[in-house]
Structure 1
Amino acid sequence: MTNNTVNAGVIGVGSMGQNHARVYDELSETNLVGVFDVDNDRAEAVADNYETTACSMEDLLDTADVVSVAVPTQFHYQNAKRALESDVHVLVEKPFVDDPANGQELIDIADNRNLVLQVGHIERFNPAVQVLRDFAGELTIRGISTERLGPPIDRAIDDTVIMDLMIHDLDIVLDIVDSEVDSYNAVGTPDCRYANANLRFDSGVTASLTTSRVTQEKVRTLTISAAECRVKVDYIDQNIEIHRSSVPTHIDGGSPVRHRHKNLVETLNVDQAEPLMSELRSFANAAKTGSKPVVDGEQGLRVLELTKALDEEAQSDTDSTREVVAGAR
């Protein structure tokens, strides 16, 4: 690692891992030194695309300062652990791990070795979300609703729609609401491709989240209902609208007296950017400076535990609201 660049590698170059390789190759802050995948032909093809090396795991960890772990979720723990124990900083894609106990072990290893462990909750780096965070703390939030919907995709995904998609919105909601979850419930279709969850926080804020892989329109939105206004965030278009209470206006001329209500809508300026580019730049800078990452292991573990609880609830036969037990995150 030099003052200007960080040697970066990617473990797992499937769909997401290939994007990590591309961005590391493009960033001025990083030097893509190699990729590893159990499918060596795929690793070779990706390496050729970005003029780097298809390495063994051992060689990659000997060369890289930072790695992205972009393998299937059930292999996150073993690959992240091996990298951390090789004194390499790690960004592990979401969901953090399969087993929360393994997540805590990774956090402890990183802390003991003074390494950066970041979890890949990419929506934190969506420019619209970053603008939202600048003023959300000033709002008296009553409720939040999210929709993350889309049609079926043409690749296999092992995770349920809650673990794969809703987890993004749960991370944003937990980040925005400065309170602990008091209770929750969730329902889903038998095939786990459509689900709805509801949360209630200690502060009284409620959240309703819907996610789908069977909706014939791609939607990625978050709406905040606050005492001061209503905020609408579109993740895809990377824009924010603020809707304020209508203003009654008297209309003169003739009787009876009439009123007109005018809605006030403010569109905030959001600088467009690729979230993955911002995420990996932030990760590289955290590794270089030793600073805390935007989404550390503790935050990744908190959202993982809630997501798993909702996923289990949605797949169960019960229809109830679960109280969060004492000591739960």
Structure 2
Amino acid sequence: MKKMINIGIIGVGHFGINYLKTFNQLDNAVVRWICAANNTTLNRVSHQLNLPSSIKTTTNDKDILGDKKVDAVAIVTPGSTHYKLAKEALMSNKHVIVEKPLAFSSYQVKELIKISNKKRKKLMVGHLHRFNPCFNKLKEDIKRGIFGRINYIHSVHAGNGPVRSDMNAMWDFFPHTVSILLNLLEELPIEVSSNGKCFLNKDIEDVVTIDMVFPNKVFSTTMVSWLYPIKKMDMTIIGENLYATFDDYGKNGKLKYYKNKPPLAEKDTTMKKSGYYFPRFKDGKPLTRQLQHFLDCINFNKEPITNGVEGLKVVSVLEAVQKSLRSNGARIKVKIP
């Protein structure tokens, strides 16, 4: 039988408010506290969502961490605060779900894993697209072999801001891509190379391109940017027998499979329109699935899919990309310390 989990949410801004809405919709979650940087945000959110008086508000995260009735804490704050807040929450004997990136160094992640194990508390990272039914379907079909050998993957994650001051666009957007690729391909890249430009703020890249090479010879390219006219999150998978495209903002279906291969120019010089179809699968909201999984892991003592170990793998890749950025695009080997 599922027990009710008392939740404290630290950060109810741009994305944190979605955590609040979603937890409030789940049967076995009770939001006990919300915390924001100022009372203006708290008042706005309380009024916007017509929150009941049973949900306490504070500008001091220590109020949440000191409440023994709180079972779990969701950390949805700027990336530079994730490690510190996650550590304090674990030390306060709380289960923790923290938005990406889990931390800015693999050594910090290893420390969080050590504390969570010692305290016997769940540590989960908000790698949202691990709970996206589209990528669950892709993973299933790749394992079934219908794509054949995977040759190449290209992705774009961009938008018109929000521009951050505590991390570059790579640390902001690329964790999603890395978590998806590590899951689809079931291996770490051998090496990465990256280049970026700082158009808005000195030393903070707002446009970054990343190349990765995997042991099975899969090659991936990614562009992330805060300087883009529209929100865009898409991925193209080129297999030996089948192609696929994912468009997170697609209006007629986010996931498409393409049957056709390009013709050889020697035989046919005309551009062919690829035939596609929409694969069938059970849909669902990724954030709802993610937060329900977090609650289930607490209730049934299961290890989260996106646990600290996955967080360590993702951050290790991000560290290598950051090193390449600072080394004029040099090829950097990916290592997990």
Global fold match (TM > 0.5) = yes
CA displacement at 1:219 relative to structure 2: 2.0
CA contact (8 A) 1:246 1:264 kept: no
SS of 2:260's equivalent in the other structure is strand
Match of 2:322 in 1: 311
CA displacement at 1:166 relative to structure 2: 1.9
1:322 aligns with 2:337: no
TM-align CA RMSD:
2.5
Per-residue Cα deviation, 1:19-74 (whole angstroms, up to 9, x for no partner): 21121112112111111234244335435642211145344232211110112222
CA contact (8 A) 2:312 2:336 kept: no
Match of 1:220 in 2: 233
Which of 230, 240, 248 does residue 255 from structure 2 map onto?
240
- Counting only pairs closer than 5 Å after superposition, residues 45-56 of structure 1 correspond to structure 2 as 45-47=44-46, 49-51=50-52, 52-55=55-58
CA displacement at 1:228 relative to structure 2: 1.9
1:183 aligns with 2:169: no
CA contact (8 A) 2:323 2:332 kept: no
CA contact (8 A) 1:91 1:117 kept: yes
- Counting only pairs closer than 5 Å after superposition, residues 136-285 of structure 1 correspond to structure 2 as 136-137=142-143, 138=145, 139=147, 140-153=149-162, 156-191=164-199, 192-237=205-250, 239-245=254-260, 263-285=274-296
CA contact (8 A) 1:239 1:269 kept: no
Give 1 or 2 for the bigger CA radius of gyration: 1
Query: What amino acid maps onto 1:114 in structure 2?
Result: R
Match of 2:266 in 1: none
- Cα 1:30–1:264, aligned 2, differ >3 Å: closer, same or farther? same
Match of 1:253 in 2: none
Match of 1:60 in 2: 64
Moved more, 135-144 or 22-31: 135-144
Distance in 2 (alpha carbons) for counterparts of 1:193 and 1:286: 36
CA displacement at 1:217 relative to structure 2: 2.9
Runs of 4+ displaced beyond 6 Å? 259-262
- Cα 1:107–1:115, aligned 2, differ >3 Å: closer, same or farther? same
Question: Aligned pair count?
Answer: 314
- Cα 1:4–1:59, aligned 2, differ >3 Å: closer, same or farther? same
CA contact (8 A) 2:4 2:29 kept: yes
Gapped regions of structure 2 (runs ≥ 5): 200-204, 264-269
Gapped regions of structure 1 (runs ≥ 5): 249-258
Distance in 2 (alpha carbons) for counterparts of 1:181 and 1:80: 27
Which of 307, 310, 322 does residue 296 from structure 1 map onto?
307
